[in-house]
Amino acid sequence: MVEIKTDKALEAMREAGRVVARALATVRAASVVGVRLRELDEAARTVLDEAGARSPFLGYRPSFAPVPFPAVICASVNDAVVHGIPGDYRLRDGDLVSIDCGAQLDGWTGDAAISFTVGTPRPADLALIAATQQALDAGIAAATVGRRIGDISHAVGAVARAKDCGLLEGFGGHGIGRTMHEDPHVPNRGRPGRGYPLRHGLALAIEPMLTAGGRDDYRTDPDGWTLRTVDGSRAAHIEHTVAITEDGPRILTLL
């Protein structure tokens, strides 16, 4: 069932979104060569704790997962696309890092992701991040009253394909509100004019996941969570929680 939020609910989601944005900004600032991914998770936990928020990631266990997720962020490095578990890996010069984070505050949820490089960037990584951001921007621009989910999907996918990038097979964005994952699903490719109609009060997490090698398939690490490119190419993941409003799309996960 798709829940249409009241304006009051969207304001509450905006507060949760601010917590997510602060956590991501804190993690990015802490991401220097030599830092362990586990330390980044600890930094994000501190932000959530200080805000009185809880993590929708910690303890989350969908049907595919062998164990509950053990952290408050997903930390995916280089060929890891999404769902990386932050452990003892130390960041290295030139790493491409994607961080996904959520927060639940006063019963409402925000969810966002960023991708960035550590130390000396590779030009190809910067281009991949830029393409992913462009895909997200296109998807958000299509998230207007009177259009449909397929318009968002088509906008995201068109940018990815124009940049010769792959899109993680079967994964995309989602509705969001009282919980992290709600209906409707928001594929990262699709046909315009199809799918659930967009109306004022619908809240969506739009999240392109682009792979530099152009392939859509992936492999799963033994941890049962981390998804990697099959060809070892790099990946980027950028996400915002967005509200559909009569005044246009409103990004809820900004500082």
DSSP for 19-35, please give it.
Answer: HHHHHHHHHHHH--TT-
Mean pLDDT, residues 158-178 taken together: 97
Q: Compute the distance between CA of residue 209 and CA of residue 166 in angstroms, rounded to an integer.
A: 8
Share of the chain above pLDDT 70, in %: 100
Mean pLDDT of 229-255: 98
Q: What is the 3-state secondary structure (H, E, C) of 183-233?
A: EEEEECCCCCCCCCECCCCCEEEECCEEECCCCCCEEECCCCCCEEECCCC
Whole-number Å distance between alpha carbons of 155 and 137: 9
What are the tens digits of pLDDT across the range 128-155? 999 999 999 999 999 999 999 999 999 9
Share of the chain above pLDDT 90, in %: 100
The reported pLDDT for the residue numbered 238 is 99
pLDDT of residue 54: 98
Mean pLDDT of all residues in 196-214: 98
Average pLDDT estimate for 105-118: 98
